[in-house]
Amino acid sequence: MPDYWASAFDVVPFPIYVVDMATFELINVNRTMRKRTGEIDGRKCHQAVYGSDKPCAFCVIPGMQGGDMGQTIIFEHFNEADDRWYQLQETRIAWFDGRPAKYSIAVDVTQLKGAQNALAEAHADLAIKNRELERLTVTDSLTGISNRRHLTAVLDHEVASARRSGLPLSVLLIDVDRFKQVNDTFGHQAGDAVLAQVAGIVVRNVRATDAAGRWGGEEFVVTCPGTPAQAGAAVAEKLRAAIDAHTFPAVGKVTCSIGVAEWLEGESVGLLLARADAALYRAKSDGRNCTAVAGPLPSAFGAPGAPAAPAV
């Protein structure tokens, strides 16, 4: 090998080595590589570089056999011998004596790899935090179900969908009866537990197509797409009966009143909720623990045989 070529090799700060493609023998190494391999002494590349008694599993020489001169393959490799990552640039060349050889430049990219991994981890953490933040923005912190913000978006969507499709839409407004009395008698912690349990009962007893959430205070909203008022009243009665049948730890029995309104053509979300609220008020006036429906349907669907509760 000409001296000028050896000199050029030696000034390159990265490990460079040349391998006989037929025998895997190291033909030449530059000064930087020699610090790792020592004098080559006819050793095979896998012996000198990786301390292995057979060719490396990732060796590109078999794929280069019969290839064009100048063929280059670039890849990253983790060297277990020194616990470092390298970017390898492997090029097929003709050595000075004419034999085909593989010319390799190994650039240590361990720090870069670490930075890339740290960046990937940071992106993954950020994605998780973003999903959690998104969940928190639409979730009621006390009950774990949808909050008013999310319900408002759902109502806007469902009303727009009903307007386009002409299919019915019913909205249920649920209020826990005498909830102030629960707080005053048993404390706010017990009251919070009641709200959380009511939320669980509501979510477990609505249909997959329905959306339920906490509207605020002791009020909950359920949207029932594709559902006329009569069917919405049936859903409400199922919820009312489930809550009435439940025993709340430390509190005992708790009931609820429910107002149901079916969306009318041209009606805004605000007016729809106002009619549901008016129906809820009628349910309260009719003795609580019952369902009232806005519109031409009967004004109340009470619990058969349930005694009328005294007004607060």
Up-side HSE of residue 99: CA atoms within 13 Å toward CB?
14
Q: CB neighbours of 19 closer than 8 A, spacing ≥ 6?
A: 25, 26, 27, 45, 61, 101, 102, 104
**Cα 133 from Cα 139, distance rounded (Å):** 10
By C-alpha distance, which of 108, 99, 42 is closest to 69? 99
Residue 228 buriedness (CB in 10 A; 0-12 / 13-18 / 19+): middle
Buried b (16+ CB within 10 A) or exposed e, 33-67: bbeebeebeeebbbbbbbeeeeeeeebbbeebeee
Q: In the chain, what are the helix, strand and coil shares in percent, each to the nearest 5? A: 40, 25, 30
Residue 150, classed as helix, strand or coil, is helix
Q: What phi and psi, each to the nearest 5 degrees, are found at residue 227?
A: -130, 120
What's the token pair of residue 57?
Answer: 């599993």
Concerning whether 39 is annotated as a catalytic residue, the answer is no
Which entry of 218, 219, 265, 267 is annotated as an active-site residue? 218
The catalytic site residues sit at: 218
